[in-house]
Amino acid sequence: MLIGLDLDEVLAALMPQLIEYHNYLYKTSYVFDDFKSFYLWKTWGGTRKETDKKIWNFYDSELFDDTLPIEGAREGIEVLAKRHKLAIITSRPQEIKGKTQKWLRKYFPDKFSAVHFAYNFSHGKGKSKKKLAICKDLGVEVLIEDCLENVMDIENVSSKTKVILLDRPWNRSRLPKNVTRVFSWKEIINKLNE
Ligand SMILES: [Mg+2]
């Protein structure tokens, strides 16, 4: 089957890098568990616009370039790639397509059939499609994701796509139908083998 994979916080451990970047630059002391909302400004304050600016600057930093894979992700992808077709569906902006593809080549060479850049609330308005719409178009049967906001609509958009949600501090609310919470890559593999 075709499996869709989110990139950040599913394959790439972006948040630890972003937190280190923020703590260094703005003299803060946030830790991973402080981020109870996907909307970062709700944790570190300021406006949404200011957060967008911080993120764009972060994309230019070495800390962003040094992002490592999530624990268990490389082994997990190794297993999945043997039996399934895998596509990345990310909300990263098109502007960092080059860096993104370079990172994927480094840690997951030849594992993905395509990389799709989906709509994000802070950029790409108008043109890019939402993740679930992309899943529906491609015929994705399972989407592995950590952002609950991206999949809240699942019952209205697609009856075919199921979601495996990797547990994170920012997604701990009630889940819609067809969304299952897991806590590790090991559990993702077990779920898909059921
Ligand atoms: Mg993500």
Q: How confident is the model at residue 102, as a pLDDT?
A: 97
The CA 88 to ligand 1 mean position distance, Å, reads 11
* pLDDT one-digit tens code per residue, 13-36: 999 999 999 999 999 999 999 999
CATH architecture of structural domain 2-13+68-193: 3-Layer(aba) Sandwich (3.40)
Q: Is the distance from CB of 43 to CB of 35 less than 8 angstroms?
A: yes
Q: How confident is the model at residue 126, as a pLDDT?
A: 57
If DSSP codes are grouped into helix, strand and coil, which group holds residue 166? strand
**Low-confidence residues in the chain, pLDDT < 50:** none
Report d(CA 6, CA 9) in Å as an integer: 8
Q: How confident is the model at residue 124, as a pLDDT?
A: 58
Give pTM, 2 decimals.
0.95
Report d(CA 102, CA 33) in Å as an integer: 29
Q: How confident is the model at residue 160, as a pLDDT?
A: 87
Report d(CA 14, CA 38) in Å as an integer: 13
Report d(CA 185, CA 166) in Å as an integer: 8
The CA 38 to ligand 1 mean position distance, Å, reads 9
Q: How confident is the model at residue 157, as a pLDDT?
A: 84
Report d(CA 144, CA 6) in Å as an integer: 6
Kindly report each contact of residues 129-137 with a partner whose C-beta sits within 8 Å and lies 24 or more positions away, as own/partner: 130/157, 131/4, 131/6, 131/89, 131/91, 132/157, 132/158, 132/161, 133/157, 134/4, 134/89, 135/4, 135/89, 135/161, 136/160, 136/161
Q: How confident is the model at residue 193, as a pLDDT?
A: 85
Q: How confident is the model at residue 26, as a pLDDT?
A: 97
Neighbours of ion ligand 1 (CB under 5 A): 6, 8-9, 146
Residue 182, Cβ density class (10 Å: 0-12 exposed, 13-18 middle, ≥19 buried)? middle
The CA 104 to ligand 1 mean position distance, Å, reads 15
The CA 26 to ligand 1 mean position distance, Å, reads 24
Q: Which two tokens stand for residue 46?
A: 């300021």
The CA 29 to ligand 1 mean position distance, Å, reads 22
Amino acid letter, 19: I
The CA 142 to ligand 1 mean position distance, Å, reads 15
